[in-house]
Amino acid sequence: MGIADGTVQGTTKILDNGPDTSRMNIVLVAEGFTTTQQATFNGLCTNFVTALQAEPWYPLFGSAINVHRLNVASDDSGVDDPTTCGDGSTGSGTAVDTYFDASFCNDGIRRCLSGDYGLVRTTLTAQLPQWDVGAVLVNTTDHGGCANGDVFWTAVRTGWENIALHELGHAGFGLADEYHYWEGCSSGETDRDNAPVGEPAQPNVTTVTTRAGLKWSHLLTPGVPVPTMLNPDCAHCDDRANVLTDDDAIGLYEGAKYYHCGRFRPAYRCRMRDNTQGFCRVCVEAIAIKTNEYVPATPMLEVVPLTLDFGDVAHGLTLYLPFEVRNVRNGRPGPLRVTLTPPTGEFTYAPGTELSFTLPTPVDTAHTSRLVFVSYTSSSLGSPTPTGQAVVSTLDDPAHPSVGVALSARPVPPPPVDSVLVIDRSGSMSDPTGVPGQTKIDHAIEAANLYVSLLKDGDQIGVVRYNQVSGPGDVLLTLRPAGPSPSGAGRLAARGVLNTTNLHPDGYTSIGGGIINGSGVLDAASATARALVVLTDGIQNRAPDIPAASAVVSPKTPKQRVFSVGLGLNQLEDKLDQIASVTNGTAQITGELVDQREFLLQKLYVQILSDVADDAFVRDPKRIANPGDRQATTVHLGEVDVACDFIVVFRRTYLFPKYMLVELEAPDGTRYGPADVATMPNAEFVQGDGHAFYRVQFPVKPEAPDAHVGQWKVWVENLSRGEHFFAGILTYSVMAKARSDLRLGGRVVQPSKLPGTPMEIVLEPTLYGRPVSLDPPVRLDIVRPDGVTKVLTAGPDAHGAYRATFGDTGLVGSYLISTEVSATTPAGHHVTRFRQMTGLIFVPGQTDDGGWGDDDRERDCKEAQRALDVLARLVERCCAPHADRPDPALLRLIAKHDLLAELERRLDDPPGDRGGV
C-alpha cells in the first residue's frame, strides 16, 4: 500500500484567479480512484468549484483563491474499512490498495477518514510548490472525513461539498469545530463535560464570557445578551432551541470545540457546527483576514458629518452629538483599524469611548460603522463661541489617513417653560376622593402646588379657574416668573391663589371656556415652550365648547400644547383628547384615586412638566411606612443625566410631614439630608404641602464628575411612635424627574374609539435625539375599566420605536397604560424611565352631559356627600388619635357613605355594646 499502489498523473488549474505565487492555492487530490475513474474525479472537482463560487462570501474574497486538480490513479477503487473500531462500531472489513492508503476508523472513531498525510504533502510539493490547502477526495459514499493542519480528507457521498467547505474552514482559514462533542452526544462519552483551562487560538471559539476581551465583540448583534445561552447541565449536550429568534445573530453560545461547557461559539448556527449551514459572520471575517494576506484589502475611511454644531446649549447641560466612522466597501473589503484623537477646546468624548477600535469587514452592507459621541458641557455664559476639532485616523487607508470633524457650540441660559394651570371648580369638585378627608379640589391643589415647586427659576406660571364660565375674574394669576426656589415671587403668588376659597366648587362645566381663558393668559408668554395644563372632573355641558377652544388655541405660534387630565373619571371628552393631540399634548385619566392610584394626579403633573421641559421621568408605586420604618427607593442614573429632582409625595396628616425624614444617598454611599444640601451650591431641599424633593445639579462633587452615575437611594423614615399607630402610618410615593439626554416618549394610536377597536401603543426612546434600544423585555401594563390588569410586551420596529397592539377593548371607559423601561447608556450604565398613557373607549351619540353632568337633581346629593365628608374629617381628627384601642371597623368607614348610619346604629345600642364610639 502506498506509492507502489498507483500513479501520479499531474495537476490542472480549474479555477484561475491569478498567479499561483500570490493566491491561496487549493488542490483537490484523488484517492481511491482508478485510471478509468479519473473522469468521475474530474466531475467531482468541478462540483466543488461550483459550490465554492456559490458561497455568499466568494464574490468579495474569492478572487484570492485558485483551485487545482491533482489526478492520482490508484490500483484499487475505494477505501479500507476495518471490521472493529475503538468507538465500538463495526465495519465491512474491506481492504484495498490505494495510493495514499486511506482508511476509516482513525483515532478510534469510525467517521475519521484519513491516510498518509506525509505522502500527501510531499506529493503536493512536488507537483505545485505554491500549494496552501490539500483536499483529498476519497472514493467512497460512506460518511467520513478528517483534517490535520493544511490537509483534509472527505468522502464523496451526496452533499460532500458541504463537508469539504467545512474542512476548508479548518485547513484554509484556521477555524475550529463548533460542535460540542467528540464521539457524539449519544455515545455516552463522559470526558466532555467541562473544557480544560486555556483560551483556544482559533478565532471562532473562546472561553471569555464578557464583552470585554471577547474576540468578536465588534461583531455582536445589538441587543443580544452576553452570554446568550448557557448549558444548564454540563453532563449532556445542550440541544435546546435558540433563545433568540434569529439563528444568525452573533452572541455567545456555550458548547463548542468538543465540550458541553466552558467553550463558546459566536452563533446558534454555522457551518463549523453544522456543515449544511453557511459560515457565520465571525467565520466570514476570518476568511476575509486570511484571503487578504494574498490580495490586500482596500478599506476606505469615511466620517459623516464633518461638522458638529451643538447649537444653543443650556447652561449646566451636557449635550452629546455623534459622528459616524465608516469602513466603506471600496474594491476588496477588509477590516479598518481606527484611532481617535481627543477633541480640542471645551469638547470631550462621551464617557467610555474607545480611542482605538476595529470596524468589521463590510460583507452584507455597503459599509460598517460606529457612532462616536462628542460631549459639550455649557459652563460660561457670554464667552466666545467654543470651537474645537476631533480627528479620526487609520493605517489601513493610505488615501485617507486622517479626517477632522469641526466642533462648535453656543452656551445659553436654560430654556424656560411658561405654563398656565386651568383648574375645574365645578360643583362636583367637592366630591370625596379615595383618600380619607380629601376632596377632589384638595387633591387638585396639592398636585398644582407640586407643579409650581418643580418649576425652574426662569419658568413662568399662571393660574385660571373655570366652572360654567371663565372670565377675567377667573384669572387668579397672570404669568409670573417663578423665581428662586422655594420662595420666588411667582411661586409664592401661585401658592397664594391655590386655595379652597378661590377654587370653591360650584356650578356647571365649560371646559372650552377655561381653555380659551387660559390660552389668553398664555399669550403673554416669552418662552417658546408653552403649556396649558387643563384639569377637569366632568363632561362639557356649557358653552363655549371644546371645538371652539381648539379653533382658538391650535393656530397660535409658538404652539400652545394642551395637556388634559380627567380627575376621578372613567371617561373623558373625546374632543378634549383631540385638542391634546392637535397641539402635541396628551390626554390622561386618573380613574378613582384609590389604592395604587392615590398619587396618580401628582405623577401625571410631574410627567406633564417633564414632557414640556424635555426632561425624563421615573417613578415608584405607592408605599406604606409604619412608625419607625425606614425605607429606600432606588433610582438609576447614568452619564446621560445632568440634573435630577428626587420627589416624595405623601398623604398629609397632623403627623406628616412633621414626623417624616427624607434623605438622599449617592451611588458612592454618601448620604445627604436637608441640612447637608443647604451648604451645597448645586443642590437644594424643598418641603411643600404634600410633597418634598431634592433638586441636584450634577456633578455632585466637582472632583468626581461621574460620581452621580449608578444607583441612588431615596430614604423615607417614619419618625412617629407606636402610640399613634393607625394615624401614624405614612403613605407616600417616590418619583424622579431627570434632565437627561435619554428620554421616553409615548402615545396611544386609536383609529376609532368604538368598543372592540384595537389600540396601538407606541414607545419612542431616544438618546441624544436618536432612537435607542431598550433592555428586553419591554413590558406594558394595561388596566381595563373594570380594574383587571393585562400585560403586553412591546417589540422594536424598523425605525427604533417599540410597538404593541391591545385588542381587549370591549369595555367602555378608560384604559390606564403604564410602562417602566430600562436602557443601557453608551458607558454601559443601567437607567430607567417611566411613561403613563390613557386609551379611551366610548360609544358616540350621548348627550352633552352624557349622564355625567352637574344637573340640579344631583346638587342635593352632592351637598349631602360633602356633609358626610366633613363629618368624616372631624371623626378622623378628633377621635382616632386619642383612642387607646382604635376600632378598625369604624375607621374603615371613614369617608364612606354609610358612616352616619353606622354611628346611629351604635348610638342606639346599649352602652356596653358601643365598641370604640
Q: Where are the chain's structural domains?
A: 3-171, 177-279, 300-411, 414-614, 619-733, 741-851, 857-913
pLDDT on residue 590: 56
Which value, in Å, is the radius of gyration of the alpha carbons in the chain?
37
DSSP 551-614: HHHTT-SS-EEEEEEESS-S---HHHHHHHHHTT--EEE--S--GGGTTHHHHHHHHHHHHHTT
pLDDT on residue 589: 56
**Among the listed ranges 539-543, 624-628, 724-728, 848-852, which one has the minimum average pLDDT value?**
848-852
CA separation for the pair 223, 246 (Å, rounded): 12
**Mean pLDDT score, 791-796:** 94
Among residues of the chain, what percentage have pLDDT more than 70?
84
Q: What is the CATH number of domain 3-171?
A: 3.40.390.10
**Residue 902 pLDDT greater than 60, yes or no:** no
| Cβ burial 718-752 (10 Å sphere, 16+ → b, else e) | bbbeeebeebbbbbbbbbbbbbbbbbbebebebee
pLDDT on residue 702: 65
pLDDT on residue 898: 53
**Among the listed ranges 275-279, 547-551, 895-899, which one has the minimum average pLDDT value?**
895-899
CA separation for the pair 296, 396 (Å, rounded): 10
The letter for the amino acid at 387 is: T
pLDDT on residue 573: 53
pLDDT on residue 857: 38
Could you report the per-residue pLDDT of 363-376, keeping only the tens digit for each? Answer: 888 999 998 989 88
pLDDT on residue 363: 87
Q: How many residues does the chain have?
A: 917
The overall longest dimension of the chain from CA atoms, in Å, is 123
pLDDT on residue 378: 81
List residues bridging with 763 in a β-sheet: 746, 802
Phi, psi angle pair for 875, to nearest 5° = -65, -45
pLDDT on residue 592: 52
pLDDT on residue 189: 81
**Mean pLDDT score, 61-69:** 96
Could you report the per-residue pLDDT of 96-111, keeping only the tens digit for each? Answer: 999 999 999 998 888 8
Judge contact between 153 and 114, C-beta under 8 A: yes
pLDDT on residue 119: 96
* Confidence band for 899, pLDDT divided at 50, 70 and 90: low
Judge contact between 534 and 578, C-beta under 8 A: no
Could you report the per-residue pLDDT of 844-871, keeping only the tens digit for each? Answer: 654 444 333 444 334 445 555 556 666 6
**Mean pLDDT score, 169-177:** 95
When comparing pLDDT for 843 and 244, which is higher? 244
CA separation for the pair 545, 552 (Å, rounded): 11
When comparing pLDDT for 561 and 28, which is higher? 28
Could you report the per-residue pLDDT of 434-455, keeping only the tens digit for each? Answer: 677 788 899 889 889 989 998 9
Phi, psi angle pair for 442, to nearest 5° = -60, -45
Could you report the per-residue pLDDT of 762-775, keeping only the tens digit for each? Answer: 999 988 677 889 99
Q: What is the CATH number of domain 619-733?
A: 2.60.120.380
Domain 414-614 has CATH 3.40.50.410: yes
**Residue 55 pLDDT greater than 50, yes or no:** yes
**Residue 58 pLDDT greater than 70, yes or no:** yes
**Mean pLDDT score, 51-61:** 95
* Confidence band for 594, pLDDT divided at 50, 70 and 90: very low
Judge contact between 232 and 208, C-beta under 8 A: no
* CATH architecture of the region 741-851: Sandwich (2.60)
**Residue 308 pLDDT greater than 90, yes or no:** yes
Contact partners, residue 538, CB within 8 Å, separation at least 6: 424, 426, 428, 509, 569, 852, 853, 854
DSSP 146-184: EEETTEEEEE-STTHHHHHHHHHHHHTT-PPP--S-SS-
**Among the listed ranges 419-423, 813-817, 855-859, which one has the minimum average pLDDT value?**
855-859
pLDDT on residue 230: 94
- CATH among 1.20.1580.10, 1.10.287.980, 2.60.40.10, 3.40.190.10 for 300-411: 2.60.40.10
CA separation for the pair 913, 250 (Å, rounded): 75
pLDDT on residue 875: 61
**Mean pLDDT score, 500-505:** 95
**Residue 896 pLDDT greater than 50, yes or no:** no
pLDDT on residue 121: 97
**Mean pLDDT score, 516-528:** 95
When comparing pLDDT for 302 and 638, which is higher? 302
pLDDT on residue 336: 94
Among residues of the chain, what percentage have pLDDT more than 90?
52
**Mean pLDDT score, 677-692:** 88
Is 300-411's fold the same as 741-851's? yes
Q: Mean pLDDT over all residues of the chain?
A: 85
Q: Which residue has the cell 374629617?
A: 873
When comparing pLDDT for 382 and 738, which is higher? 738
